[in-house]
Amino acid sequence: MSTTAKSLRAFLAAAPSVALVEVAEAKGSTPREKGAWMLVSPQRIFGTIGGGQLEFMAIDTARAMLKETISPVEGEMPAKRAEGVTSGRSAQGALSPADGTPPGGFAATVPSRGRESLTLDIPLGPEIGQCCGGRVEVAVSKVDQALRTDLLASAEASDAALPHVHVFGGGHVGHALASAFALLPLNVVVVETRTDALEGMPDNVVTRLTPMPEEMVREAPAGTAFVVLTHDHALDFLIVAEALKREDAAYVGMIGSKTKKATFRSWFLKSAGGSEEQFARLVCPIGGDAVKDKRPAVIAALAAAEIMTALAPRGK
Helices (H), ranges, 124-283: 145-161, 172-181, 214-219, 233-244, 258-270, 276-279
- Specify if 293 maps to a domain: yes
pLDDT at res. 243: 98
Same domain membership, residue 231 and residue 128: no
From 142, 174, 191, give the residue that closes a domain: 142
Tell me: pLDDT of 111 over 90: no
Tell me: pLDDT of 247 over 70: yes
From 142, 174, 190, give the residue that closes a domain: 142
- Specify if 11 maps to a domain: no
pLDDT tens, residue by residue, 139-194 = 999 999 999 999 999 999 988 899 999 999 999 999 999 999 999 999 999 999 99
Same domain membership, residue 169 and residue 307: yes
Same domain membership, residue 52 and residue 127: yes
Q: Answer with the residue of higher pLDDT: 130 or 80.
A: 130
| Longest pairwise C-alpha distance within the chain | 78
Same domain membership, residue 99 and residue 205: no
Same domain membership, residue 244 and residue 106: no
Same domain membership, residue 221 and residue 305: yes
From 142, 170, 185, give the residue that closes a domain: 142
Overall domain count for the chain: 2
Tell me: pLDDT of 128 over 90: no
Beta bridge partner(s), residue 122: 136
- Specify if 125 maps to a domain: yes
Same domain membership, residue 179 and residue 136: no
Q: What is the mean pLDDT of the chain?
A: 83
Tell me: pLDDT of 79 over 70: no
Same domain membership, residue 185 and residue 222: yes
- Specify if 221 maps to a domain: yes
Same domain membership, residue 290 and residue 176: yes
- Specify if 316 maps to a domain: no
pLDDT tens, residue by residue, 39-69 = 999 999 999 998 888 889 899 999 999 986 4
Reported pTM: 0.75
- How far is C-alpha 289 from the geometric centre of its chain's CA atoms? 26
Contact by Cβ (8 Å): 233, 210: no
Same domain membership, residue 134 and residue 51: yes
Contact by Cβ (8 Å): 55, 83: no
Q: Answer with the residue of higher pLDDT: 142 or 122.
A: 142
pLDDT at res. 300: 97
Contact by Cβ (8 Å): 45, 38: yes
Tell me: pLDDT of 263 over 90: yes
| Domain residue limits at 255 | 162-311
Same domain membership, residue 188 and residue 88: no
Same domain membership, residue 307 and residue 166: yes
Tell me: pLDDT of 85 over 70: no
Q: What is the CATH number of the domain that holds 243?
A: 3.40.50.720
- Specify if 155 maps to a domain: no
Tell me: pLDDT of 241 over 80: yes
pLDDT tens, residue by residue, 5-51 = 889 999 999 999 999 999 998 888 888 889 999 999 999 999 999 88
- Specify if 115 maps to a domain: yes
- Specify if 147 maps to a domain: no
**290 DSSP assignment:** S
**196 DSSP assignment:** G
pLDDT at res. 93: 38
Tell me: pLDDT of 113 over 60: no
